[in-house]
Amino acid sequence: MKRYLLILCLFLFAGLAVRAQDGENDQMGRLQEKMRIYIQKRLNLTRNESDRFSPIFLRYIVELRQTHRDFVNDAPMRQLKVAELRVRFRDEFKTVLDEPRANKVFEAEREFQNIVKNELMNRRGDNAPLRRNRSMIQ
C-alpha cells in the first residue's frame, strides 16, 4: 500500500516538475522516451522485441497518466485502477516478452522513477535541510 502511494507520488512529482518547465509536451515526451530506452536496456530486449514492445509501453504510459488525472482526488480508487491497468498491460507485455521480463517492466519503471526523483532532488539541492529548519541546525 505504501509502496503504491510512493510510486504514485513519484509520478505526480515528476509530472509537476516537467509541467513547470517550458515545452511541457516536449519534456514529457523526452522523459517517456528515456524511460522506454532505460527499460529496454534493463530487460535486454532484442531489436524485434523492442519494436513490438514500444507501442504497447507508450500506450501504458498514456493510460497511466490518464488514470492519475481521472482519480486525482480519490487515492484508493486510483490505486485500484493503476493495479488493474498494470495487470492488463502485463498480459499485453507477455505477448512480446516472456513472463519474468513482463513482470520486470514495472520494477524497471520504479527504478527509473527513483533515478529521476534523485536527479530532481540533487538539482534543487534537497539534500540540505529545509529553510525553516536551517537556523535550528546551525
Calculate the average pLDDT of the chain: 79
Q: Please give the residue range of the domain that contains residue 72.
A: 1-6+32-117
Residue 70 inside a domain? The answer is yes
Q: What is the pLDDT of residue 66?
A: 94
Using 50, 70 and 90 to split pLDDT, how confident is the model at 69?
Answer: very high
Residue 72 inside a domain? The answer is yes
* Contacts (Cβ under 8 Å, ≥6 apart) of 31: 14, 18, 116
Residue 98 inside a domain? The answer is yes
For the chain, how many structural domains are there in total? 1
Q: What is the pLDDT of residue 136?
A: 38
Residue 12 inside a domain? The answer is no
Residue 137 inside a domain? The answer is no
Residue 110 inside a domain? The answer is yes
Please determine, for residue 42, whether its predicted confidence score (pLDDT) is greater than 80.
yes
Residue 109 inside a domain? The answer is yes
What is the C-alpha separation between 100 and 62, in angstroms, rounded?
A: 23
What is the C-alpha separation between 72 and 88, in angstroms, rounded?
A: 21
60 φψ region: left (φ > 0), alpha (ψ -120 to 50), beta (else): alpha
Residue 71 inside a domain? The answer is yes
